[in-house]
Structure 1
């Protein structure tokens, strides 16, 4: 490897070389914190030296030779032999900030009527005829730099985060320099100090070494995120002419922008899900992709991306483009209820992030069955999770392990094979839980009979929300509350809470033979629970069932099925009861028999919702 170091000051750094921002580099993402830190460091050293020689009568350009120098670290460049362009591989955050400082000094030179104005301008832009070129060439953001340089009041920032940060950080720099440089003498001494005594080292590297150098350099300081390093290691293998003509950089940035729209870390999550989906058969194998997936990616021999530009181009144009687009769709379905893909939304309500893993595993590039696979896989994840919960067989560790087993079995198979794979997994987990190797049904009343209050709080709300939706759909009524509010809202006023139908009082104890243990066990079953909103949840230790029944009016449909008036003049409801043969009926009293009846009714409803 050939690395050539060169000591420079700002005067020589920005003299006759145009620096292009390589595709390896992030956009200009520095916020005010690192900018202020850099200014603090520069002014700390300058202030020390300025005080020491404050009384000197020497001109500024001579006294500056007595000032101590300040080391500003390194920046890395690579010369493209074909285009003869010099690209910045590392250090553009710092160089961009230095350029903004020069722009502010240029405007201060005007304010102080300093003869240094033209010199400073020459460190910002080069001139060829009528054309001015910024030495630091943020090509698509040049209008922003030009507006700052020209002192325009209206600075365009519509080209992205780089433009926005150029404007914001210029304001931070401007305020600081106005505070520090209050007269012409101090200003001019600072300019000479800035130009001559700030030392920065340029490391020139060969093109073949750029990806490796880029990654090593960014192991120090404020590290790049894995996807940013991955971008460099992938795009760094592609010939720059092909890179421009085939717009690989635009492809990458466009997909990353779509995924990161609402979450700046979403792209890393995407790559982790994708690599686990395609290359992990067990949860143990998946762990290698948890952190430095950008390194593990190159270890996958099936992709063969290391030092293989042809495979890199195929990966970007096929796998990356297809699966990132699929991921964008899935994220949208998790946040907006689309009835065509409703189970993706349902899974988001129960935090089943594994659906990203399994759906990407099931789909192959440009899959003609994509729509059906999204629907099928998301439905079966919800079904698997819920039927395990409702039969008290859910174990989070076992469930996560099983997700990778399912992923390996559904990987790019025909959609017709997928339901049986999920059913097999569900039976395996039930057999494990109940030590019953003869079990041959995925949902049994024997395992559901005692299910109740011990379920996870959020899942209980989700369960009753799905029951509510089931009733609303089949009776052609609108939901009174959306699913998100039913499941997620938990506040004392607008949140939803689980309520016991049977309060703790002597009347209810008598219904259970005054057996307190039996009473508490029975009333905790799902058939003895309801979902109520905030102030509707007015349970007390002595309230009778009759009083509670009154409070269920105008709450949720499931609650209202206990009331007589819910069956009057509701033709769609009564017709559905007859056609579905579901045993809905009003209950003027509520004891052991009624509770058992409601538990069995829920069992039948569950079979309609999840056991199709």
Structure 2
């Protein structure tokens, strides 16, 4: 038979079978909530029966005759060369083992004759070896120490999540059982009830059908994550002996742990980005991977290319090649998104703008073991930063349209040489600017489109990012450290430590006079990027709505860009004077600030942005 159901009580379940934890199974992840629910369910029936039959002696006959049986669910096993592997149900079996350990500890304290019986339900001789029936190989010390009476908090849990959860849940179980079983008679009655009347159904499944049964079982109740089911579908095709000798299970777990260290279940995001990067040519076709991507991988269209269905040789090659390479590439990107890498700093810049689409694009560009990998990461991330920023700065950005466009870019740079990548980005960038601004452009950055850019047309995060990049440009040019980390300039928002946009032109008579008293024009002009600065919280408050001459004083010792308004930056700071000369940028101290000065600052920002984002050609129309 392919599937062999067997109804059994716990006395039979934990008798002589060593249960090995199959590769399908997760770590032991049950939280306190399902453990307490199981305790309540078990005691609900027990307490009702015990109230009626408390006078009876606790023995097999009276318990089996008068106490109702309680169904604990199904567990699935697969026997390979005499070893019984748990395919599904490890969470429940492990929790029941923790019950048995606590009952054993209580039996010894109560000097109950059930202690020997309980001990044999936890561990015993399998052949000549003394083994725990639940064979958590890396965490056996937890069960052993608990059986020896050690306090959970004193037991080493460094072997992993399973150990930590076992110890935490044992504490819950120990407290509940100690409180509920308040007499030796009730305790011994419960032991008989627990072992004789709690029932499981074991489904013994042959190896051929394990992946199918595993997926169907996990379509109900609390489902496994897609990557956990995918693991079963892939590794289930490999002979178990070869799984061990080839280290495929260890390979999978190593890569998953590396990616999930970034964020819980991040591996699912990896698979979605990878599938989209290789098999989606537009946004609509990519959306099919947003759900159960593990199913999509085995549909005819994708499987014709992956060939992972019923082909263990292809599965092994996939794990060693594509899976191993792209997961490690993803880890490189994760690390570079958290901490700037000097080889490809734009990965970090993109993360500040929350442009996770860079994962899609880099995975698309790189082939397995790509010799141009580092250069592709650098170029793709720089081009994404450039495309995003220049569209923002020219009023040509729409988030939905940008996402659609990046799928087209991804399809065109897929496995392409690095020299081809900037050309693809440039083509699409020009198309988008022309379409959004309804004017044909031949340059990626045009002053005619930038000239009217105002702060209220940019989202706050990008506005801070823009001035942060300007600040970094100046710091690098002067060979000085930034006064504040770029990340702080972009992300900190606190009233005292955060950074805020401030208008150079405050609303007062002096400022209005500079625009002939035209309030409408004044309001538009003061919002231009050349008319605002990035200020730290307390600096922002201190300058308030003061006259420009007084505000100018408050710009001292703030950010380098702010200080370029002050004359002492040109007279006393040789590093800045040298940089201004070499860069040929038209920096200028401004003792007053009106229409002409604002225009000069706007043009200067344009020139700086042109250098930052590689658009050096100055096009005015």
Match of 1:447 among 446, 449, 464: 449
Cα distance in structure 2, aligned partners of 1:298 and 1:156: 42
- Per the TM alignment, residue 542 of structure 1 is displaced from its structure 2 partner at its CA by 4.7
- Per the TM alignment, residue 2 of structure 1 is displaced from its structure 2 partner at its CA by 2.1
Q: CA contact under 8 A between 1:77 and 1:204: conserved in structure 2?
A: yes
Matched residue, 1:251 = 251
Alignment of 1:381-530 (within 5 A): 381-436=384-439, 438-453=440-455, 454-530=457-533
Q: CA contact under 8 A between 1:505 and 1:541: conserved in structure 2?
A: no
SS in 1 for 2:4: strand
Q: CA contact under 8 A between 1:499 and 1:539: conserved in structure 2?
A: no
Matched residue, 1:159 = 159
Alignment of 1:257-336 (within 5 A): 257-299=257-299, 300=302, 301-336=304-339
Matched residue, 2:595 = 592
Deviation readout 1:91-128 (Å, 9 max, x if unpaired): 01000011111111111110111111111111111225
- Per the TM alignment, residue 156 of structure 1 is displaced from its structure 2 partner at its CA by 2.6
Cα distance in structure 2, aligned partners of 1:538 and 1:156: 53
Cα distance in structure 2, aligned partners of 1:258 and 1:43: 41
CA spacing shift, 1:59–1:344, aligned 2, 3 Å: closer
CA spacing shift, 1:101–1:440, aligned 2, 3 Å: same
Q: CA contact under 8 A between 2:17 and 2:126: conserved in structure 1?
A: no
Cα distance in structure 2, aligned partners of 1:359 and 1:597: 38
Cα distance in structure 1, aligned partners of 2:344 and 2:549: 41
Match of 2:100 among 98, 102, 105: 102
Match of 2:90 among 92, 100, 104: 92
Q: CA contact under 8 A between 2:18 and 2:132: conserved in structure 1?
A: yes
- Per the TM alignment, residue 532 of structure 1 is displaced from its structure 2 partner at its CA by 0.2
- Per the TM alignment, residue 15 of structure 1 is displaced from its structure 2 partner at its CA by 1.1
CA spacing shift, 1:528–1:59, aligned 2, 3 Å: closer
SS in 2 for 1:74: strand
CA spacing shift, 1:547–1:19, aligned 2, 3 Å: same
Q: CA contact under 8 A between 2:543 and 2:551: conserved in structure 1?
A: no
Match of 2:358 among 334, 355, 360: 355
Cα distance in structure 2, aligned partners of 1:542 and 1:126: 82
- Per the TM alignment, residue 3 of structure 1 is displaced from its structure 2 partner at its CA by 1.6
SS in 2 for 1:440: coil
Q: CA contact under 8 A between 2:262 and 2:334: conserved in structure 1?
A: no
Alignment of 1:139-218 (within 5 A): 139-153=137-151, 154-218=154-218
Is 2:370 the counterpart of 1:364? no
Is 2:561 the counterpart of 1:558? yes
Q: CA contact under 8 A between 1:277 and 1:357: conserved in structure 2?
A: yes
Deviation readout 1:74-105 (Å, 9 max, x if unpaired): 1111111xx22111111010000111111111
Cα distance in structure 2, aligned partners of 1:486 and 1:499: 14
Deviation readout 1:359-414 (Å, 9 max, x if unpaired): 01000111110100000000000000000000010011110001100000000100
Q: Which runs of 5+ in 1 are unaligned?
A: none
Is 2:383 the counterpart of 1:380? yes
- Per the TM alignment, residue 61 of structure 1 is displaced from its structure 2 partner at its CA by 3.1
- Per the TM alignment, residue 206 of structure 1 is displaced from its structure 2 partner at its CA by 1.6
SS in 1 for 2:343: helix
Matched residue, 2:51 = 51
Tell me whether 213-222 or 1-10 shows the greater mean CA deviation: 1-10
- Per the TM alignment, residue 352 of structure 1 is displaced from its structure 2 partner at its CA by 0.5
SS in 2 for 1:323: helix
- Per the TM alignment, residue 155 of structure 1 is displaced from its structure 2 partner at its CA by 2.1
Q: CA contact under 8 A between 1:280 and 1:408: conserved in structure 2?
A: yes
Deviation readout 1:327-376 (Å, 9 max, x if unpaired): 11111111112222210000000000000000010001111101000000
- Per the TM alignment, residue 541 of structure 1 is displaced from its structure 2 partner at its CA by 7.5
- Per the TM alignment, residue 540 of structure 1 is displaced from its structure 2 partner at its CA by 7.4
Q: Which runs of 5+ in 2 are unaligned?
A: 616-621
Cα distance in structure 1, aligned partners of 2:76 and 2:596: 79
Cα distance in structure 2, aligned partners of 1:296 and 1:171: 42
Is 2:132 the counterpart of 1:134? yes
Alignment of 1:541-556 (within 5 A): 542-556=545-559
TM-score (norm 1): 0.97
Matched residue, 1:75 = 75
Deviation readout 1:121-143 (Å, 9 max, x if unpaired): 11111225874111111122212
- Per the TM alignment, residue 439 of structure 1 is displaced from its structure 2 partner at its CA by 1.9
CA spacing shift, 1:574–1:522, aligned 2, 3 Å: same
Cα distance in structure 1, aligned partners of 2:363 and 2:596: 47
Is 2:535 the counterpart of 1:532? yes
Cα-Cα RMSD: 1.3
TM-score (norm 2): 0.96
Cα distance in structure 1, aligned partners of 2:577 and 2:559: 17
Cα distance in structure 2, aligned partners of 1:332 and 1:179: 48
Q: CA contact under 8 A between 1:61 and 1:189: conserved in structure 2?
A: no
Match of 2:572 among 546, 569, 574: 569
Cα distance in structure 2, aligned partners of 1:598 and 1:400: 32
SS in 1 for 2:74: strand
Cα distance in structure 2, aligned partners of 1:381 and 1:552: 33
